[in-house]
Amino acid sequence: MKITDATKYELLLMNVERIPSHMFDNLGQHSIASYLETKGFKAMVYSGTTGDCEEIISGAIEKDSVPVIGFYTATDNLSVVKHLIEWIKKTYNVYTIAGGPEAVALKEDFLRETGCDFVIEGEGEIPEYQLLSCIIDNILPLEQVQSLRYIDKNNIYHENPLAKPFCNLDEIPFPSRKRCIGSDFRNKIDFGIITGRGCPFRCAFCYEGANTKKVRLRSIENVISEIDFAISENHKLKYLNIYDDTFTLDFRRVEAFCKEVKKRKLFWYCEGHTSNIAKNPEMVKIMVDSGMIGLQIGIESGSNTVLEAYNKKTDRDMILEVVNICKNAGLPRLVGNFIVGGAYETEESISESMKLAEQMLEAGQGMFECKTVFLAPYPHTPITLNPADYNLEYSGVDENTCIYSMQMPLMKPESMEYEKLISFKKTFDEMLKEKIRMLSRNAVKADVERIFFKAGERLNISSLWKDYYLKQEHIVNYIERIISIYRHGNNDYTDDELLELYPVRTFSLLEYKNGLLTYGSYIFSECESFLLKYSAGKIKFRDIIMMSENNKQDLLASYRSLNNRCLIYASRF
């Protein structure tokens, strides 16, 4: 893989995973790189898989003489980082750094086992600058580098005091493709931004609330300027993902953002806290009107006892209320996770979660979907520090057998067997798929159009609802019709206009049971059966009425009902 910028640089920042399916370019590393540039240091960023990283590292060291390589560490890529650092230290004479959320737990043992030179805990801009000033320019002693852990020349381990959080985020220059190596960073149609740091909530399993409490928000002017800058580098950008944990904290700030992003005609996603949304239901409508097509919320459990233990500041009624708020606002997609086997979990609490999930799917038909995960708390959070306080224990699973932390129960309730916990999750997962499959059979056009289209454009949204809709002949045909309608102008026909149009059913085969037309789980009335029988696009609605023993109003009402279920449409030709 070729490095895009041949100019020498002092630091290579790497975010490496084994499988790229859920990986996005690490904006934290891009922030560090852009900040260092203001201080006279050049850093490049690589996000990718283990398949390419050896070539990237070798090229950086052998061709560009890069003296320092830094790694982002999280729970699921920590073993990769360990192996890479061990290989680098055996092969090359360069410095290595480990940072990221997992760094809070990386101390003396990690440094000695891997040969890693430095660990930086927390936000990296200032500590990275100080460290480069020390090891590159020799103008600062190691003991003055904030947030640093290291072993000195005398084999003594040190932990320096933590740096204060970076206060004015507007001072950090924007991420740029010019600082990127061998990646599609902001090179396709989607891109991400971070508009703030820190979290005021104290969820018992979360890194941000436990370790980065102070909230700092970028000005909306600065955020919009970054969006404009990203688009100036790539005019194809169309889908924006806001990665903040707490984007919905300030209603007025969200409102100001929506006003500006709407002008740019972007589709966008974000995360939101259920309490903020329940308190300001009108906020979702404003967000959707400005182009928001996806929202993620923290659900975790359907048991109020469990939610209270997590310190979520929500309850099951509030969560269900948020689904209704989002549905009424016209949101295309709402997602969230349920934790199986978390704090104070019992068979009864899992049943409560399954019941809430069913209620949410019914209330958010065509919009809401969720998945289940096992508990995977970050290090130095209340749950990992004191699991017994939450009726939890480490499951005894050998971490060497675990690829993804949320897909194996590394923790479990004290009174629940490992195999039983896995069985509960499988049952939950099967219920979710079957519920969506069953509900999708009764789709109405508002839900179909919501997930497939917005503002006349077909949306690029991954959705289980879409998958099940596309398995049904009538919905596939109806979607093709909608594309045509949006292309030529959307017409909500009056009764008089319908009379001169050709009705077309969206399924082809005519099957009968006891004299009534059937299709899938539908059994149509006599009036509906007659209308559908002759809705092949060959006879005008007026002529069908004349042929039928049913009166005009009944046939028109049948058309409206069938059209709402995507089973029929009207065509001019």
Region of residue 316 (phi > 0: left; psi between -120 and 50: alpha; otherwise: beta): alpha
pLDDT attached to residue 142: 96
Closest of 74, 149, 155 to residue 118, by C-alpha: 149
**Token digits of residue 54:** 């050896």
Residue range 289-302: mean pLDDT, rounded: 96
Considering only residues 21 and 16, tell me which one the structure prediction assigns the higher pLDDT.
16
What would the two tokens of residue 128 be? Answer: 């990275």
Instruction: Say what percent of the chain tops pLDDT 90.
Output: 77
CB 106 within 8 A of CB 159: no
Cβ neighbours around 204 below 10 Å, total: 21
The pLDDT of residue 5: 45
Q: With beta carbons less than 8 A apart as the criterion, state whether 340 and 390 touch.
A: no
Mean pLDDT, the chain, rounded, equals 91
197 SS3 class = strand
Q: At what angle do helices 316-328 and 347-363 cross, to 10 degrees?
A: 20
Q: What is the pTM of this model?
A: 0.91
CA distance readout (Å), 564 to 446, 478, 561: 8, 11, 5
pLDDT digits (tens, 9 = 90+) for 128-146: 999 999 999 999 999 999 9
Structure tokens at 340: 């199986």
First-to-last CA distance in the chain?
Answer: 54
**Beta strands 392-394; 368-374: pairing state:** unpaired
Residue 193 has pLDDT above 90, yes or no: yes
**Whether pLDDT at 490 is above 90:** no
Q: How far, in Å, CA of 60 to CA of 94, rounded?
A: 11
Mean pLDDT of 35-51: 93
Tens of pLDDT, residues 544-559: 999 999 999 999 999 9
pLDDT over 70 (residue 207): no
Confidence of residue 20 (pLDDT cuts 50, 70, 90): low
pLDDT at 398: 67
DSSP 8-state class, residue 361: H
**328 and 313 Cβ atoms separated by less than 8 Å:** no
Q: Report the pLDDT averaged over residues 93-107.
A: 95
pLDDT score at 19 = 75
Contacts of residue 295, Cβ cutoff 8 Å, sequence gap at least 6: 269, 270, 271, 272, 284, 287, 326, 331, 333, 334, 335
Mean pLDDT of 5-33: 80
Mapping DSSP to helix (H, G, I), strand (E, B) and coil, where does residue 187 land? coil
Q: What's the average model confidence in pLDDT over 176-203?
A: 88
Q: Is the pLDDT of residue 23 over 90?
A: no
Which 8-state DSSP code applies to residue 40?
A: T
CA-to-CA distance for 270 and 295, rounded, in angstroms? 5
Residue 444, helix vs strand vs coil: coil
Short-list 273, 367, 365, 253, CA closest to 314: 273
Residues 163, 42: Cα–Cα separation, whole Å: 22
- The string of pLDDT tens digits covering residues 368-421 is 999 999 998 788 889 988 999 999 998 877 677 777 777 888 889 998 999 999
Among residues 489, 506, 508, the alpha carbon closest in space to that of 572 is found at 489
| DSSP three-state, residue 362 | helix
Beta strands in 167-210 (DSSP E): 190-193, 196-197
Measured CA to CA, the distance from residue 449 to residue 332 in angstroms comes to 9
Mean pLDDT throughout 75-89?
Answer: 94
> Would the pLDDT of 213 be above 70?
no
Percent of the chain past pLDDT 70, that is, above it, reads 95
161-164-169-173 Cα dihedral, nearest 10 degrees? -30
For residues 24 and 458, which has the higher predicted lDDT (pLDDT)?
458
Residue 78 has φ and ψ, to the nearest 5°, of: -60, -40
Which range (19-23, 37-41, 82-86, 449-453) has the least confidence? 19-23
6 has a pLDDT exceeding 50: no
pLDDT in tens, 336-351: 999 999 999 999 999 9
Question: What is the tens place of the pLDDT at every residue in 426-452?
Answer: 999 999 999 999 999 989 999 999 999
Torsion region of 155: left, alpha or beta (phi above 0 gives left; psi -120 to 50 gives alpha): left
How deeply is 483 buried, as exposed, middle or buried, from its count of CB atoms within 10 A (0-12, 13-18, 19+)?
A: middle
Asked if 11 and 70 count as a contact pair (C-beta separation under 8 A), the reply is yes
